Amino acid sequence: MAVDNLETIHQALREHLKEDQISVNETVRELHGRDESYHSMKLPDIVVFPETAAQVAAVMKVSKQFQMPVVPFGLGSSLEGHVIPQSGGITIDFSLMNKVLAVNEEDFLVKVQPGVTRTQLNKELKKYGLFFTVDPGADATLGGMVATNASGTTSVKYGVMRDQVRDLEVVLADGTIIHTGSMAAKSSSGLHLNGLFTGSEGTLGCFTEMTLRVYGIPEHITAARASFPSVKDAVEAVVSILQAGIPIARVELVDEQSVRQANLFSDTAYLEKPTLFMEFHGNEAGLKQDVEFMQEIVQGHGCEELAFETDTAGRNRLWEARHNLAYAYIHGYPGKKMMVTDVCLPISELAGAVGHARDNLLALGLPGGIVGHVGDGNFHALIMMDMNDPVEVAKAQEFNERIVLYALERGGTCTGEHGVGLGKQKYQEREHGAALAVMEKIKRALDPDNLLNPHKNIKTEAKEAIE
């Protein structure tokens, strides 16, 4: 970017933001040039730290005036390059907009700013006997979680991020501020903008306030670990549990490689076999009956060890081990980068898909393992690769592609919860067919200059930042 132009833009931003809310510092730009994925770093030209929706709107107007791309940034925990500014431009960091604005106990709603993280929210909610259900593992910001339609371990019972969104305050490309919903639990009024903006990956607007649904902390919680002779047995047990109508709250597959990695990292001593980590929420009597029924089912599928975690400490240890799995792999393979596949299939196709993924991991000789939110039909293969070894990188990419194509051929999606970002764009046409043109029309209608997080989600010709 030509320095005089940058200085002009800087000056334009100064009219709306304080000096310490604008940075062109190299280190700051580097912190905003990458995420937790394997995608290459690209630097923004300027990073801004707004405190209000009005300031975000002002940044949008500057972006428009100078035809400079804008990329919203939470904490950079994306696994698909969402926050990497492919064409430079202005990155909007929401870390100063990190307040829980209101807890409305009676309506089971909270109003938050986008920079609030999920553990920060849950700490606040605990005082009210409430909790926020969506749990992607990483301590992401809620703005980022809405942007990617995140989900995680509890979605099998409580739904994904989109199911929790009651209203979003959004700043559009032209600086207009809209609300996408209301406080009502349901509505048939107008078009469903809550759903459209959730998962839009910063390509349609920036969130500045969000009203989200929360739940009462369950009366009783029981967690369990069930180990099986094979991944196939474990997955089939899950299908039977769902078929039986047991309202399971969490059911995670962790294959033997991943249990081993967890034991190494989290200092646990879990049986190193394909395992289901489960959790049940409910009233005391109902939960007891659910758990007994589950016990019968897993035994029918050859369960070799069933261990219950009834106290909070044991339960927390279990879920921490699960959540730290990605870090356990990264820690176990120093110098390597992680690629995570993220397909989601109809549950009837899950056992086949997981088997296919394991066969391919083995055939390609890639180090890694499989974990998954199997109650939703969503699983991840975590592959460790040396980015300096082109053969390993090519193999990892080949693996990812095989997994995606297998899923798409069977009614699945290329991404269950991580989002499209940079990594899944090449599969969009294959997955959506003629519907992709509808998405592109919507994008063009709302962001005609293609300034909002270009190159992400919807493929459109982006304005390049002035070199």
User: Shortest gap between Cβ of 238 and a copy of itself (angstroms)?
Assistant: 12
Interface residue with a copy of itself among 67, 286, 356, 367 (CB under 8 A) is 286
Helices (H), 95-213: 118-126, 142-147, 155-158, 161-164, 193-197
Interface residue with a copy of itself among 293, 310, 331, 388 (CB under 8 A) is 293
Determine the interface stretch with a copy of itself among 17-25, 93-101, 284-292, 387-395 (rule: CB under 8 A).
Answer: 284-292
**Contact between 127 and a copy of itself per CB under 8 A:** no
**Contact between 300 and a copy of itself per CB under 8 A:** no
| Torsion of Cα atoms, 27 then 386 then 264 then 261, to 10° | 110
- Binding residues for a copy of itself, total number by CB under 8 A: 96
Query: Which one, 3 or 285, has the nearer CB to a copy of itself?
Result: 285
Interface residue with a copy of itself among 61, 288, 315, 463 (CB under 8 A) is 288
User: Shortest gap between Cβ of 60 and a copy of itself (angstroms)?
Assistant: 14
Contacts of the segment 17-22: beta carbons below 8 A, 24+ positions apart:
17/48, 17/49, 17/50, 17/55, 17/58, 17/59, 20/49, 21/48, 21/49, 21/50, 21/51, 21/55, 21/96, 22/46, 22/47, 22/48, 22/49
Q: Which of residues 69-108 bind a copy of itself (CB under 8 A)?
A: 104, 106-108
What gap in Å lies between CA 99 and CA 134, rounded to an integer? 18
Q: Which of residues 20-79 bind a copy of itself (CB under 8 A)?
A: none
> And the tokens for 175?
């600086």
Q: Which of residues 339-358 bind a copy of itself (CB under 8 A)?
A: 342, 344-348
Q: Which of residues 135-154 bind a copy of itself (CB under 8 A)?
A: 148-151
**Contact between 155 and a copy of itself per CB under 8 A:** yes
**Contact between 178 and a copy of itself per CB under 8 A:** yes
Determine the interface stretch with a copy of itself among 213-221, 264-272, 299-307, 388-396 (rule: CB under 8 A).
Answer: 213-221
Decide if 404 contacts 343 (C-beta within 8 A).
Answer: yes
What gap in Å lies between CA 206 and CA 56, rounded to an integer? 8
User: Shortest gap between Cβ of 149 and a copy of itself (angstroms)?
Assistant: 5
**Contact between 112 and a copy of itself per CB under 8 A:** no
Count Cβ atoms below 10 Å from residue 186 Cβ, excluding itself.
7
Q: Residue 39 half-sphere exposure, CB side, CA atoms within 13 Å?
A: 25
What gap in Å lies between CA 412 and CA 350, rounded to an integer? 10
**Contact between 245 and a copy of itself per CB under 8 A:** yes
What gap in Å lies between CA 104 and CA 109, rounded to an integer? 5
What gap in Å lies between CA 209 and CA 100, rounded to an integer? 10
Sequence-distant (6+) residues with CB within 8 A of 359 are: none
Interface residue with a copy of itself among 1, 31, 172, 271 (CB under 8 A) is 172
Query: Which one, 216 or 229, has the nearer CB to a copy of itself?
Result: 216
Interface residue with a copy of itself among 33, 44, 74, 282 (CB under 8 A) is 282
Q: Which of residues 377-406 bind a copy of itself (CB under 8 A)?
A: 377-378
User: Shortest gap between Cβ of 424 and a copy of itself (angstroms)?
Assistant: 7
**Contact between 435 and a copy of itself per CB under 8 A:** yes
- Bridge partner residues of 277 (DSSP): 225, 252
**Contact between 426 and a copy of itself per CB under 8 A:** no
> And the tokens for 151?
């989900």
**Contact between 285 and a copy of itself per CB under 8 A:** yes
Interface residue with a copy of itself among 206, 414, 451, 452 (CB under 8 A) is 414
What gap in Å lies between CA 245 and CA 193, rounded to an integer? 32
Query: Which one, 59 or 146, has the nearer CB to a copy of itself?
Result: 146
Q: Which of residues 316-335 bind a copy of itself (CB under 8 A)?
A: none
What gap in Å lies between CA 217 and CA 215, rounded to an integer? 6
User: Shortest gap between Cβ of 397 and a copy of itself (angstroms)?
Assistant: 18
Decide if 110 contacts 64 (C-beta within 8 A).
Answer: no
User: Shortest gap between Cβ of 133 and a copy of itself (angstroms)?
Assistant: 13
> Would you tell me the crossing angle of helices 350-364 and 390-408 to the nearest 10 degrees?
160
Residue 129, classed as helix, strand or coil, is: coil
Which helix H or strand E contains 402, and what residues bound it?
helix 390-408
Query: Which one, 313 or 434, has the nearer CB to a copy of itself?
Result: 434
Interface residue with a copy of itself among 125, 439, 462, 465 (CB under 8 A) is 439
Q: Which of residues 185-204 bind a copy of itself (CB under 8 A)?
A: 185-196, 198-200
Interface residue with a copy of itself among 41, 65, 216, 363 (CB under 8 A) is 216
How long, in residues, is the chain? 467
User: Shortest gap between Cβ of 151 and a copy of itself (angstroms)?
Assistant: 6
